[in-house]
Structures are given as structure tokens and as C-alpha cells.
Amino acid sequence: MACFLAKRPASETVKQVRLREDGGCVDHELCMTRLLSRRALLSVAAAGIAAAACGSDTAAPGGPPLRERAAARGLVYGAAGDVELTTNQQLGTTFVREAGAFVPEVSLKWAALRPASDTFDFVASDALIAWAGARTILVRGHALAWHQALPNWFAGVANEQTAGGFLDAHIAAVAGRYSGRVGSWDVVNEPLDPFSDRDDGLREESPWLRLLGPAYIARAFVAAREADATAVLTLNEYGFENDPGAARKRADFLRLIGRLKDSGTPIQAAGLQAHLLQNNPRWAEFDATGYSKFLGELAAMGLQLFVTELDVNDTAFPQDARTRDAAVASVYRDYLGVALAEPAVKMVTTWGLSDRTSWIDRSYPRKDGAHARPLPLDAGYQRKAAWEAVATAFDRAPKR
């Protein structure tokens, strides 16, 4: 196999990667043609997969980085991040070393993009997507229709007559702008509520549901497909593991996807957020059998599965860092052992890479004053037990 050498931008650690001369993937099993466009594939291959296949100079304590451990099994590993990636060189370099995919945690949400009802502000999102593109990192877009992170002006102007137009125009502008650069979109985020009084389990507090009815979901997918012909369109949801109401949510999610598929809605993937222990600290209540069956049923509907926001809330664990890290790692190990056994799971994205910037630390400060440790790297960007658990889970995953 003939290879050529490619270099990263000078600001990054220079790393040699090898691709086949015709630009194809070095290992067709890693191509995952149904997940990634050819362009995105080449990007991921150039930056990580090829490094795994041809050897790399990135050896660090603990062995090859997560992106390579995932790629070796035909998986993609990614992480959430935001504008700090473009300004904090240590974070950026670490991110590029470990992650082959990236999802903006905040900058593609309505509240970030829409300062006023008739304007868009793409400054931050353009910078982030250019940053990822220059480093050949696959981008997931998040999120086009969500009941949260709406700008303040929205409630004042959105009504039953105008909401559909706002939704269509927003998706056309945002997904259209990044068409070809975002490999997958979370089109609708968190549409369900297991305590909903509705038979279909849809979230009653969502302004989209209230103003447009259940049809808003298919409408958003159709608009996304019109704006971007190739992105993998995803329905993203949380609380399928041991959350209160998880069994109902799994059932409602399957029924919702069944209805979308039956009506010809362009949906290709299911996003499993997997904010573990977020709403129930008792991991022993995780129904692994029910969860595996759920993943199998989604796969049987022809969907790719992405673990989209993985982290482990450590609020209930003891303060001692070593004890806490071991407990967090054990949950990662357990969960990924079950999730990755399903071959339709193609990508794992953690909700952040380093404990320095986790939403859990901001939103759920510990009573003992210690910082949360929910992610693969600690606040100093060092690998910890959670990293090892994720890496080992990739090593043990069946090859895609």
C-alpha cells in the first residue's frame, strides 16, 4: 500500500499520517460509508485513522489516543468543546490528539446564533467550524430544534402562525451555511418527557410542540435535508439508561422513530446522550438487558447509533479523587461494554474532554467544594482512570 505524508498546521504538534495515494481509507472497514461523507471520511482518516493504521508518533502515557483506539475498531471518538478550543493552545492540541470528532457545546444553538429575530451571528460558529476543518476533525452539529437555549426574543414573537416560519428559516440558514462541513446534525433534541401526560410521550413544555404540534419534528428533519443533502440527520435524546422513566422513554423513542420512518421522514441516526448518573446516582438500576434490546431495535429500524453526550456525574461519589475516579471509570466501563456490543453504534462523543470545562462542574457544584471529575482527562489535561476505561472499551469492542 503506497502512502504519502501529510502535516498538521504548524500550530499543532506536527504529526505524520499516511493515506492511500488515491485518497481512500487505508482500511475499508474504517470507512463507515453510511456514517460519513467521503469528504468527512478523508478528514478523519487523514488525522487519525491513518495514524492508527500506519503507525503514529503520538505515543503518550497510557498508549495511543482515544481517536486511534476507536478507529482501530471502526469507531469514531469525539468530544464536545467550544470557542476555548481556538484560544487555549494546550486544550486545542490535546483535543486534536485525542478526538476525531467535535461537537460545539453551545455555539450552534439558537441562543448563540440569534441575537435578534431577524439576524444571525455566525462569528463563533464560523471560527469553530473553520478550526475543526483545518485540523481535519469531523463536526457534529447541535442542535436545530430544542426547547432550551432559545433566545429571549423568541417567546415574544413566536406564535402558532410564526413559529413554523422561524423554524424553517433557521434551519435553512444554519444547516445550509455549514452544508458539507457538518457531517451530522442533531436535528431535534430532547423531544420526549417520560412524565408527559400525552400518550406519545412528547415534551409538553416545548414551545415547538405547543405552537406547531407533533408535526414540528418531521418538519425540522425535512428542512434539514433540504438545507444539507448529505449530513446524517439525528434525533437526540437522554435518559435511556437508569433515569426515572427510562423504560417509558425507550418505548416512546422507538414509537416516535417508527412514526417518522413510516411517514418517510429523512432520519438516519439516533443520538443517545448518555449523561450517566445525571438523574439517578444508583448505577445498579441500569437495565443492561433492556438497553441492549433497545439498541438492537433501533438498529433494526436501519438507524446508525451515536453516543452523543457521554459523561458520568460524580456528585454522589466520595471526595477522594482516586476513589471517585475509580467509581466514574467503572460506570464508563460498564456502559460502554453494553453500548459498544451493538454494532450499529458507530460513534462515541463525550460531553467535553477535560474536567476543566465540564457543564457538571458549572451546573451541579459539589457540596464539599471539590471539582467534578466526569470526563476522560483531568483539569490538567492528564489521562485518568476514565480515559483508561474508555480506551479499553474501544479495544474490546467488536470491529465495525
Name the residue among 66, 40, 134 with its Cα closest to residue 348: 66
What is the nearest approach in angstroms of ligand G3I to the Cβ of residue 80? 7
Q: Which is nearer to ligand G3I, 292 or 315 (CB)?
A: 315
User: What DSSP assignment string belongs to 66-83?
Assistant: HHHHHHTTT-EEEEEE-T
User: How many Cα atoms occupy the beta-carbon half-sphere of 99 within 13 Å?
Assistant: 29
**Cβ of residue 363: shortest distance to ligand G3I, in angstroms?**
7
For ligand G3I, give the closer residue by CB, 58 or 349.
Answer: 349
Q: How far is the CB of 238 from ligand G3I (least distance, A)?
A: 6
CB of 105 to ligand G3I, least distance (A): 5
Q: Judged by CB, which is closer to ligand G3I: 70, or 112? A: 112
Instruction: Determine how β-strand 17-20 pairs with β-strand 3-6.
Output: antiparallel
The residue (of 273 and 349) whose beta carbon lies closer to ligand G3I is 273
Query: How are beta strands 101-104 and 3-6 bridged, if at all?
Result: unpaired
Classify each residue of 114-133 as buried b or exposed e, where b means 16 or more C-beta atoms within 10 Å of its C-beta.
beeeeeeebebbeebbebbe
User: Cell for 187?
Assistant: 436535528
Question: Least CB distance from residue 83 to ligand G3I, whole Å?
Answer: 9
- Cell 464560523 belongs to residue: 126
C-alpha distances out from residue 392 to 94, 272, 332, 389, Å: 19, 20, 10, 5
Residue type, 249: K
Q: Least CB distance from residue 51 to ligand G3I, whole Å?
A: 29
Instruction: State which residue has the least CB distance to ligand G3I.
Output: 359
What angle, 0 to 180 degrees and rounded to 10, lies between the N-to-C axes of helices 246-262 and 215-227? 60
CB of 60 to ligand G3I, least distance (A): 27
For the residues of 327-381, what is the DSSP string, one character each?
A: HHHHHHHHHHHHHTTSTTEEEEEES-SBGGG-HHHHHS--TT-PPP--SSB-TTS
Nearest approach, Cβ of residue 82 and ligand G3I (Å): 7
Please give the distance of CA 211 from its chain centroid, rounded to a whole number.
28
Whose Cβ is closer to ligand G3I: residue 82's or residue 325's? 82
Cell (9 digits) for 186: 442533531
Residues lying near ligand G3I in the complex (CB under 6 A): 105-106, 109, 148-149, 189, 238, 273, 309, 359
Rank residues 108 and 345 by Cβ distance to ligand G3I and give the closer one. 108
Which lies closer to ligand G3I via its Cβ, residue 149 or residue 341?
A: 149
Nearer to ligand G3I, 283 or 359 (CB): 359
